[in-house]
Structure 1
Amino acid sequence: MHEYFAFALLGFTSFFTLINPLGVMPIYLSMTADLDKEMKKRTARKATIVSFIILVLFAITGQLIFKFFGITINSLKVVGGVIFFLMGQDMLQARLVRAKISEKEVNSYTNDISITPLAIPMICGPGAITNAILMMDTAESIVFQGILIIVISIVCFATYLILLNSTRIYNLLGETGNNILMRLMGLIVMVIAVEFIVSGLTPIIRTILKIE
């Protein structure tokens, strides 16, 4: 039971920090400023549902993709760790790295902003997708796989609730509060990144040096 809880806690922490709904929140507010309450709710719901489906699909089919392209999970751990580290570094400096969208691009997305860019790549970015694949690979049984899918659904639902109440939360925390939270989450992401890099490099180095 302790292993299940530890796995679920790691999954929730990593997905929540990588998805970073508090970082998505200001962008969501700006992009839905001209929409009525019902349309804002529909946009948030669709964005989180699409993100959930994509994460689960990549978690389930990730290994098949690796086999097809001849990619090893250890290589992905190293690359994923680097991605996480860079994201964490930007978050530690309170920069919304996923909000690099020009005003011209945002205007072109107004027909369906719930899918692009809200779901992809803001909520369901490369970091979250990589994390889904890596965690599914470490899932030792169907129970662990089920826990991972449940965790992804919980994080997506939490993201939906945060976006739904984004105006209230943003006003409550203020700019300083949001920056502090983002720095804390950035630190957690960087710690996770180091763990992934070390766990990925260790077997690669052992193979190169022919260490049993």
Structure 2
Amino acid sequence: MIESLISDILFGFTGLISIINPIGVAFVFLDRTANLTDEERRLLAKRVAINAFFVLVVAFFVGTPVLHFFGISMEALRIGGGLAVAVSGWQMLNAPEPEPIAADHPVKPMSASSASGKAFFPLTVPLTTGPGSIATAIALNANRTHKLSAWLLSSFASIVISALVMLVIYYVYSRAARLSQYLGVEGTRVAMRVSSFLLLCIGVQIILTGLTGFLTPIADLRAVK
């Protein structure tokens, strides 16, 4: 039982982390918070990580019933969310390079209210916990058993997975500026462009996955006829 629980946690954690890709998205986070001080960025990273935890918990426990209640299919979730991710990546990929700022003209830090307004949308959803991670969380618990002991173990695993993902997101996002310093100005610009392109590709891939799931039954039905 313990071995199965550990296996479920590791499987869910690695699956979600690979989709979220916090190291790649950290450069997107840094670009979106360029005017913040290090302390403001750390607090914002903490809030984004906590938001991501609750988003994943909600997806784990009530994702499937909510989708059914609103009549939203998994394919529609992937297509709509993938479109939002792709548009964000496209905008960042084509954004002009910021003008260098003189040393005697420091950037005015963003206000706390503006930073808080970015915490959930778009920094948490869809950039961090987007349709791919939400769909994965829903799929991991799609066949949740109703047996009490198994349900409790599955619920515990879901909470642990969400907490581990939250810690990784906070650790990486809060150190995004330090990672940028290691890479230098040009290295950071290249990393941001690459991250933006990968974000665009991830969005397109999510859309294609949704379209495939939608069109495959139609093609199979026509083949049968």
1:131 aligned onto 2:132: yes
CA–CA distance in 2 between the matches of 1:182 and 1:148? 32
Give a deviation string over 1:155-177, Cα, whole Å, max 9, x none: 43233223433443332222322
- Return the structure number with greater helix share: 1
Contact 1:85 1:193 in 2 (8 A): yes
Give yes or no for the alignment of 1:156 onto 2:161.
no
C-alpha distance in 2 between matches for 1:154 and 1:187: 27
Kindly indicate whether the alpha-carbon contact (under 8 Å) linking 1:85 and 1:194 is maintained by their aligned counterparts in 2.
yes
Are positions 1:193 and 2:203 aligned together? yes
CA 1:4/1:116 → structure 2, altered by over 3 Å: closer, same or farther?
same
Is 2:49–2:167's contact at 8 Å kept on the other side of the alignment?
yes
| C-alpha contact (below 8 Å) 2:82/2:203 kept by paired residues | yes
Aligned length: 196
Partner of 1:75: 76
Distance 1:44 1:11, change over 3 A: closer
Residue 121 of structure 1 is matched in structure 2 by 121
2:89–2:196 contact (8 Å) kept in structure 1: yes
| Farther off after superposition, 41-50 or 72-81 | 41-50
Deviation at 1:63, TM superposition (A): 1.7
| 1:179 aligned partner | 189
Does residue 15 (structure 1) correspond to residue 20 (structure 2)? The answer is yes
- Does the CA-based 8 Å contact 2:78-2:135 persist in structure 1? yes
Alpha-carbon offset, residue 73 of structure 1: 0.9
TM-score by length of 2: 0.63
Distance 1:30 1:207 in 2: 48
Deviations 1:162-205 (A, max 9, x none): 34334433322223222222333344434443443333223422
Unaligned runs of 5+ in 1: 97-102
In the alignment, structure 1 residue 165 sits paired with structure 2 residue 175: yes
- The 1:187/1:155 distance shift into structure 2, 3 A limit, reads farther
Q: 1:25 aligns with which of 30, 33, 41?
A: 30
CA distance in 2, matches of 1:95, 1:10: 34
Aligned-residue offset at 1:31: 2.6
Higher Rg of the two aligned structures: 2
Q: Secondary structure at the match of 1:30?
A: coil
Give the partner amino acid of 2:74: I
Shift in CA distance, 207/181, structure 1 to aligned 2, threshold 3 Å: same
The CA RMSD over aligned residues, in Å, is 4.0
**Runs of 5+ consecutive residues of structure 2 not aligned to the other structure:** 98-106, 145-152
AA at the equivalent of 2:29: V
Distance 1:30 1:196, change over 3 A: closer
